[in-house]
Amino acid sequence: MSFSDFHLLSVLAQEMNMRKAAERLFVSQPALSQRLQNLEKQWDTKLFIRTQKGLTLTPSGELVIRYANDVLEMGERVKEEIQALDSKVHGTLKIACASIVGQNWLPQVLKQFVNKYPQAKISLITGWSSEILKSLYDDEVHIGIIRGSTDWKGPKVHLFEDTLYLVDKEIRHIEDVLKTDRPFIQFKSDSNYYQEILDWWHREFQTSPKRTIVVDQIETCKQMTFNGIGYAILPAITLNGAEKDLHKIPLQGDHEQRLKRDTWLLGYESAFQLKQVQAFLEVVNEFLETQPHTF
């Protein structure tokens, strides 16, 4: 079997639909069906069963797909090692990034990276910091960018810190929170960030908010706050100057220090030896030298 055959099987297993798989592979459905039949003859077993809803893997198919994915992953690693011997920066840079950083900071860095290294490719996934760490532990990405404190034992680079603000159109002073009937708008996040806000709230007010609205995305929380629906606690990275008629009150931690959130870049030593990762780190350092480290 060739790499294209392994890729074909992997795409079929991901889509579980002949039409969608054919579109991804840029082939016709009859041609895809014929290639699948040939592969099943090679393995001398049925790999997929067609149903009205799509495809279903047979037990034999599950084994072959697992093998195909292992071969593809190993092939990608070998390519990266070969490319690392070359003087040019190419290959795929695999990044897992906390969503808030992926929306507000990373695009500026990636723009400089692709301009400087046009032959390099980028694979980017975003999510909560806990999900980013899992991607690193599972060796699915080269580097991860997370928010908050970390006990990562491998190489790590501190990117920046940003202040947390209570943001509202009406509340001007922190003590006014106890007087208002406006709702506190919260966004779901990983436990580290949520606990940090919860600890601050109870230290400051010794009581719970009168009314609370919980949303699933920080961007939704931000837009609801900007439109005057209620107040929220937002990191400075989300406040890029576009907000108007808003009061921003910095949160105070212990010893009247501003409450801040750190952002870190993490990875394994082996990943940091890849040329595309080294090139990205150089671009990051150049960017940090010309941009403020805090927000």
Mean pLDDT on 3-14: 94
Q: Does domain 162-260 have CATH number 3.40.50.300?
A: no
Q: Is the pLDDT of residue 216 over 90?
A: no
* Orientation angle between helical segments 275-290 and 59-84, nearest 10 degrees: 70
Mean pLDDT for the chain overall: 89
Asked if 3-84 and 162-260 have one fold, the answer is no
Domain spans in the chain, listed from the N-terminal domain onward: 3-84, 91-160+261-290, 162-260
pLDDT digits (tens, 9 = 90+) for 105-115: 999 999 999 99
Statement: 3-84 belongs to CATH 1.10.10.10: yes
Tell me what percent of the residues of the chain surpass a pLDDT of 90: 59
How many alpha carbons fall within 13 Å on the CB side of residue 126? 12
Q: Is the pLDDT of residue 12 over 70?
A: yes
Q: What is the DSSP letter of 183?
A: P
Domain 91-160+261-290 has CATH 3.40.190.10: yes
Eight-state DSSP code of residue 211: S
The string of pLDDT tens digits covering residues 101-159 is 998 899 999 999 999 998 889 999 999 888 999 999 999 999 999 998 888 988 999 99
Return the exposure string of 173-209: e unless at least 16 CB atoms fall within 10 Å of the residue's CB, then b: eeebbeebebbbbbbebbebbeebeeebbeebeeeeb
Helix (H) or strand (E) holding 164: strand 156-168
Region 32-38: what's the mean pLDDT?
94
Q: Has residue 84 got a pLDDT over 80?
A: no
